Amino acid sequence: MTTFTETRIKIPMFSPSRVWTIATGTMTQLVRMKTFYFLLVFAVLVAAIGNIDIKSASSVSQLETIKKVSFGTMDIFAWLYAIVATALLIPRDLEDRTLYTILSKPVRRIEYLIGKLLGVLVLIAASLALMFTLCLLMLAYKQSGFIADEIKMLQAAPNVTTAEIEEQVKLIQRQGVRPELAVAALASFLKSSVVAVMTILISTFASSSLFTIITSIFFFLIGHAHGMMTDFWLHKTEGNLIIRMLTKVFKLLIPDFQLFSFSEGIVIGAEVVPRVVWSMGFLTGGYLFVFLLISLMIFLYKEF
């Protein structure tokens, strides 16, 4: 006679290994979408901008241009990728019915959300690291060339002292490879993390990927511009009370993405304040926590 005994497997409330499994699955899914081709475009762009010979521009200006274009493109890639990749994930899992398979297993919904977000963030980090390396290589190559040319030119000129040559070299070095540039890349990562978690939140109640992408871009633009728009409206309406209230509501509900654009200042040579960078890291952590919590609140009650 066969007897059946009920076996109860204790499922932990939260399992990092399950999260990591979902994250790696997400990475594979995104890599298969061939989004990394963007890196080729980036490489071509960096090579092109590095080889543009602007005759009327000084070597310092040329280095600055390479930096600004490269880091600007890195920033666009990071936030755009965060929006598009994240917006595609949940609807695609729904379409492929993968979501049902995952959720029918002992996987909690929060693990699923964190896993998806982690997958996107790891890919963004890897892409940013690659682009950053490419950009540094180009900068280092151009910087050494400019310095050699400058020294040659100044040595040939009459009445130029060694101190003056050193001063000029320092000026070029200031616009070349600096450790602070890594913080600029980190700033792009922090910004794209907040964008990704905001997109996850939208995608938990959105009806389609397209809706998620458009709404996320819209919120991103508002989040970027509400400081400027507030100034503008208050200036136009001479501090109208209703406008003031409206702008406060915007500020409370939408992330301030302008604050995350501190890579712009660093790229053009501003000094990095480590305490501020740490604070920005904690702020990003706060956004991730609160937005994931809200996403979970919606996702828990979502019927599939």
Partner 1 sequence: MPSKLPNWLKIVLILAAFGLVRSPVENSLRRKMNTAGMLLPTPGHSAMAQMGQSALMGMLGGLRTLVATGYLLDSYRHFDNADWDANRKSLLLATYLEPTEESHWVDLVWHRGINAPAWLETRARLPEIEKRILYHEYTRDAIELGEAGLKNLPKSVEIRKQMAEVYREKIKDPCGTAKMYKEMLGLEGAPMYANRFYGYFLSECPGKEKEGYDHLVNLYWEGSHNHLPTLIKKILVLQEELDIPVPLWIREKDPDAQKQINRRIKKPKPLPGGIVIP
Residues in contact with partner 1 by CB under 8 A are: 54-57, 60-61, 64-65, 68-69, 71-73, 75-76, 79, 163, 167, 191, 220-221, 224-225, 227-228, 231-232, 235, 251-253, 256-259, 261-262, 264-273, 276, 279-280, 283, 286, 290, 293-294, 297-298, 301
By three-state DSSP, how is residue 171 classified?
helix
Burial of 208 (0-12, 13-18, 19+ CB in 10 A): exposed
Q: Choose between 27 and 110: whose C-beta lies nearer to partner 1.
A: 110
Smallest gap from residue 116 Cβ to partner 1 (A)? 19
Q: Choose between 154 and 259: whose C-beta lies nearer to partner 1.
A: 259
Q: Choose between 156 and 252: whose C-beta lies nearer to partner 1.
A: 252
Q: Which of 85, 90, 44 is nearest to 206 (CA)?
A: 90
* Type of residue found at 303: E
Q: Which of 130, 89, 87, 96 is nearest to 112 (CA)?
A: 89
Smallest gap from residue 84 Cβ to partner 1 (A)? 15
Q: How far is CA 112 from CA 38, 59, 162, 298, in A?
A: 27, 50, 62, 13
Q: Choose between 31 and 76: whose C-beta lies nearer to partner 1.
A: 76
CB burial string 149-164: b at 16+ within 10 A, e below: ebeeebeeeeeeeeee
Smallest gap from residue 251 Cβ to partner 1 (A)? 7
Q: Which helix (H) or strand (E) holds 243?
A: helix 241-253
Smallest gap from residue 88 Cβ to partner 1 (A)? 21
- Torsion, Cα of 97, 98, 99, 101 (10° steps): 100
Q: Choose between 94 and 253: whose C-beta lies nearer to partner 1.
A: 253
Smallest gap from residue 211 Cβ to partner 1 (A)? 18
Q: Choose between 33 and 253: whose C-beta lies nearer to partner 1.
A: 253
Q: What is the largest CA-CA distance in the chain?
A: 107
Smallest gap from residue 78 Cβ to partner 1 (A)? 10
Smallest gap from residue 96 Cβ to partner 1 (A)? 27
* Type of residue found at 251: K
Q: Choose between 209 and 295: whose C-beta lies nearer to partner 1.
A: 295
CB burial string 281-302: b at 16+ within 10 A, e below: eebbeebbeebbeebbeebeee
